[in-house]
Amino acid sequence: MRKEFSLADTIASIASFPSKAAVGVIKISGKKSLEIISKIFKPKKRKDIRKVQTYTLHYGWIVDKSKERREKIVDEVLVGVMKAPFSYTREDVVEIYSHSGQVVLNKILDLVLKRGARQALPGEFTRRAFLRGRIDLSQAEAVLDIVEAKTEKALELGLFQLEGRLSERINQIEEILKRICSELEAELSFPEDVQIKKDYSLDIQRAIKKIKDLLKNSEKGRLLKEGAFLVICGKANVGKSSLLNMLLREERVIVTPFAGTTRDVIEEDINIRGLPLKIYDTAGILEPKDLIEKKALEKSYKKIEEADLILLVFDGSQKLTSEDFFLIDKTREKKVIFVINKTDLPLRIGEEMLKRYKKPLVKISALFSKGLKNLETKILKVIFKEGLDKEGEIFLSNKRHIALLKEALNLLEKVKADLRRGFPLDFLFFNLREALERVSEITGKNISGDILDSIFSKFCIGK
């Protein structure tokens, strides 16, 4: 471990967001925590703060004795005490609840640092919780997911992982692989004394199935955590901007009856029933008249390529044109919903022609916000072919976990194939050990310091 992460140090940091608020928080963790707070805290009830019971809250004042003989009050505070090992970091932890404001918070933190603590690094409190064995690495990463959750569904994902539901599944896979590796190692080390178990394929297949079960929902997990990229496209003047306004439930984009009003990609964020969406309203597909329109079209095509879902909008009051068919062809390989707009006008589009493409179809009137609920339902159904509320289902969302499980799966598939070919046991053992190491990295049982640095550097200071 690098010197700056020494567990022997007592660390401290402001743990609240820098803003105007009622309360600010300074957190201290380490063996010197109680000694430090005893030097700067004057409780209203005269008592030795070092000897109070754990999980207690104390009222008093932070005082500064550094410049004058008499005490100088810095702020009126509450001090919470959590003694090891019953704390977030399994160390002595002190939390100071002061009035919010950067001046007072910085002053209190400065007093804490002068009394023997050092400034905590990003994620160091959670890193200590991991290194002290309170949580595993996947649970530590879940803390960040909870902090960054954009919707209630994303929050649920983080909470499931923090509760250890993912860890349970990973531990099951680890146990299978450890057992196989142990038996293989015994056969390789003592071939005369051990009864050879010739067929490991069933156990390997069990591990493969468990990994596949976790990976099958990884795309759903990614979308729930990061959000889906939804692109609204169509020829000019079909009502794309009106549709965006309808989805946003506000008049975000200027709408006019003239073609080409939108001359650039417009980006907005919304939440549809727990699914975060980043929506792009693209320029209408028409023959560009100038360089600006040409650039806008190039950006539109790029967004179409990147989209998780495309809403291809048609003017229901007009017959299909060559531009419509061009876009149908361009989006053929993508997830697409055909949206027939302007249903408040007589329909002339030729709906039967669109149905031949076997794409989901929704009719709306963006002008009068009709069909919105049906469209939202269709969006969720197309992005998630199955529901999101299956009991006990784990939606894998962490890119690191997904990559490690895919690597482990590839190694196990290779072991399975090599087993059928009759390859030597030592050759199988090597790939099995590699697969086990990949799986163990998820919970942090097998992890390098550099990877830990990378993971915890994403956390804020104070967490």
- pLDDT at 198 (0 to 100): 54
Domain-located, residue 326: yes
The residue ranking higher by pLDDT, 394 or 116, is 116
Beta bridge mates, 450: none
Residue 318 lies in a domain: yes
Note the pLDDT tens digit of each residue in 43-97.
998 889 999 999 999 999 999 987 655 789 999 999 999 999 999 999 999 999 9
User: Distance (Å, rounded) from C-alpha 23 to C-alpha 333?
Assistant: 53
26 within domain boundaries = yes
Instruction: Give yes or no for a contact between 397 and 145, defined as CB atoms under 8 angstroms apart.
Output: yes
Among 152-156, 265-269, 387-391, 437-441, which is the least confidently predicted range?
387-391
Looking up tokens 């609240």 gives 16
The answer to whether the pTM exceeds 0.85 is no
Domain boundary among 132, 152, 176: 132
Q: How many domains, in total, are found in the chain?
A: 3
Q: Examine residue 449 and state whether it is found in any structural domain, yes or no.
A: no
> pLDDT tens across 239-279, in order?
888 898 888 887 655 444 544 444 456 888 888 887 888 89
CATH code for the domain of 48: 3.30.1360.120
Residues 318 and 373 in one domain: yes
Report percent pLDDT > 70 for the chain. 88
**Residue 462 is assigned to a structural domain of this protein:** no
Residues spanned by the domain of 108: 3-132
User: CA-CA distance, 201 to 208, in Å (whole number)?
Assistant: 10
The answer on 173 and 90 residing in a single domain is no
Assess whether pLDDT exceeds 90 at residue 186. no
Looking at 332, 357, 383, the residue that finishes a domain is 383
Asked if 153 and 248 sit in the same domain, the reply is no
Question: Model confidence over 306-363: pLDDT tens digits?
Answer: 888 999 999 999 999 988 998 999 899 899 999 999 999 999 998 888 999 999 999 9
Is the pLDDT at 288 greater than 80, yes or no?
Answer: no
Kindly state whether residues 349 and 405 are assigned to the same domain.
no
Band of residue 2 on the pLDDT scale cut at 50, 70, 90:
very low
pLDDT the model gives residue 429: 87
Judgement on whether residues 238 and 376 belong to the same structural domain of the protein: yes
Other CB atoms within a 10 A radius of the CB of residue 106 amount to: 14
**Mean of pLDDT values over 279-291:** 66
* 375: in domain: yes
Q: Are residues 46 and 65 in the same domain?
A: yes
CATH code of 417's domain:
1.20.120.430
Element containing residue 272 per DSSP (H, E): strand 266-272
Same domain, 336 and 378: yes
Q: What is the pLDDT of residue 292?
A: 55
How do residues 215-237 score in pLDDT, each as one tens digit?
A: 988 888 888 888 888 999 998 88
**Radius of gyration in angstroms for the set of CA atoms belonging to the chain, rounded to a whole number:** 30
Q: What is the mean pLDDT of the chain?
A: 86
Instruction: Check whether residue 126 and residue 264 sit in a common domain.
Output: no
pLDDT tens digits, residue range 413-453? 999 998 888 887 777 889 999 999 999 999 998 888 888 88
Q: Is the residue at 223 inside a domain? A: no
Q: Which residues of 378-395 are buried (b: 16+ CB within 10 A; e: fewer)?
A: bbbebbbeeebeeeeebb
Are both 323 and 288 inside the same structural domain? Answer: yes
Residue 90: predicted pLDDT = 96
Helix, strand, coil % over all residues of the chain, rounded to 5? 45, 20, 35
Q: How many C-beta neighbours within 10 Å does residue 294 have? A: 12
Q: Which of 132, 162, 188 is the last residue of a domain?
A: 132
d(CA 348, CA 315): 9
Assess if residue 333 is contained within a domain.
Answer: yes
- The reply to whether 31 and 86 lie within a common domain is yes
Tokens of 109: 């933190």
In this structure, what token pair is assigned to residue 393?
């289902």
Q: How far apart are CA 188 and CA 205, in angstroms?
A: 22
- One domain, residues 243 and 362: yes
Check whether 134 has a pLDDT greater than 80: yes
For residue 255, give the CATH number of its domain. Answer: 3.40.50.300
> Could you tell me the pLDDT band of residue 4, with boundaries at 50, 70 and 90?
low
In a shared domain, residues 344 and 372: yes
